[in-house]
Amino acid sequence: MNGEHDAVRAVRAWLEADWSRHFLRQGGKRWRSDTLVRDLKRRGVCDSELAAWQALAVLRHQGVLDAPAALDHRLSVRMGLSEGERHRLIQSLPRPDAALGLEGDLAVAWSRAREAGLADWSLDDQCRLVEGLRRLAADLPAAYDLGAYRASARYLLGSAKLLQALPAELVRAFGIEPRDFRPMPTWLLAEAPEVPQGLLLIENPQSFEQARRLGVGDRLALVCGFGYGLALGEALADVDRVRLVGERPPRQGLARLLSLPSQTYWGDLDPEGLRLYRALKRRLPRLCLSALMAPMAEGLEAEGGPPSASPDRQGGAAGQRRRGERARSGMAGGCPRARAGRRASGPGSRGTLAGRSRGRVRRPQPLASTRLRPRCLAW
């Protein structure tokens, strides 16, 4: 009997510690009974899976666990700590320093934020942060018009990025809603003729300049982000706050350009470029890979992909083949025009070979430096 009681105490202590760690980092936690039983055996908390099942059943009857009766029959169920047990653990968490003057939900939110990095702050800086958050909350709703960056710089230790770096739960605990700050406009490079025949989204300014030199902007509206291409994805999320700038910016706004019948994307033929393409395509279902990418696709088919920062940094021929296969599969998932790699079709197409260029592309290069002749491009 003592062995059974010891197992119950050990399982309860482990569950409480696991829940508390998870709560401080991500919020409350629940478990799947069969997976938990195996973990308890593997970690040495219980001598056997049977002992773990029996301990969980006892804890359910004691009101420690919130779980269906099927747990007693050793069935796989979702379960968690009971409400009373969770409340007791929250009250037992380390409390913020009394100098901060935080109680209740604010104290809980601050304790969780400590796990996210505030524990490294000096007490003086923590006090200044609390004071700044309270002053910001007191100046709402007028302070929302400042935007998140200006409000952060004005109220939070002079840092323009601190407000967005703090856990949202902590900010909301002070009565501040991060989503209510006036959004700043997103600036994109753009160029377009009077009546564009289609839209070409470009990953980076280098490729944008190459497209301008080739005269692509005489037929298509060109749009790209400054620096890393994810600015395009952010812009599509809220087109009303986008501002288009350039030597020859379009008269139409981005919303009008997105209604053009032909929509294509030109980016690096690497995992990151293809991830950006997929993200854009979720918002623009008609978006296709541009025929401008065909020469690189031909080189990729012939010799494999270039070294890149990818999740599997395997070297040698095996890693090269794996990266090449991933890039080819990403391109093949784009649209029939990109899969063919040779022929452009659809609205605005010239119906010519997309990949015809001076000689064979011996090695995939950044698209901005790919040698293409304007008369050979198919849009």
- Local structure of 190: helix, strand or coil: strand
Residue 95 is encoded by which pair of tokens?
């409390």
pLDDT in tens, 240-286: 788 888 888 888 888 899 999 899 999 887 888 888 888 889 889 99
Looking at residue 374, its pLDDT comes to 33
Contact 277, 327 (CB under 8 A): no
More confident residue, 363 or 154: 154
Looking at residue 187, its pLDDT comes to 84
Contact 282, 309 (CB under 8 A): no
pLDDT in tens, 285-333: 999 988 878 776 676 666 665 554 443 444 433 443 444 444 444 444 4
More confident residue, 168 or 325: 168
Is pTM beyond 0.85? Reply is: no
Virtual torsion, Cα 81, 85, 88, 89, nearest 10 deg: -30
Share of the chain above pLDDT 90, in %: 44
pLDDT in tens, 54-101: 999 999 999 999 999 999 999 999 999 999 999 898 888 878 889 999
CA distance 16 to 85: 9
Of 353, 330, 324, nearest to 341 by C-alpha is 353
Q: Is 227 left (phi over 0), alpha (psi -120 to 50) or beta?
A: left
- Local structure of 200: helix, strand or coil: strand
CA distance 273 to 270: 5
Where do the structural domains in the chain lie, given as residue ranges? Answer: 2-91, 98-180, 186-376
Mean pLDDT of 139-150: 94
CATH class (in words) of the domain with range 2-91: mainly alpha
The per-residue pLDDT of the chain, averaged, comes to 79
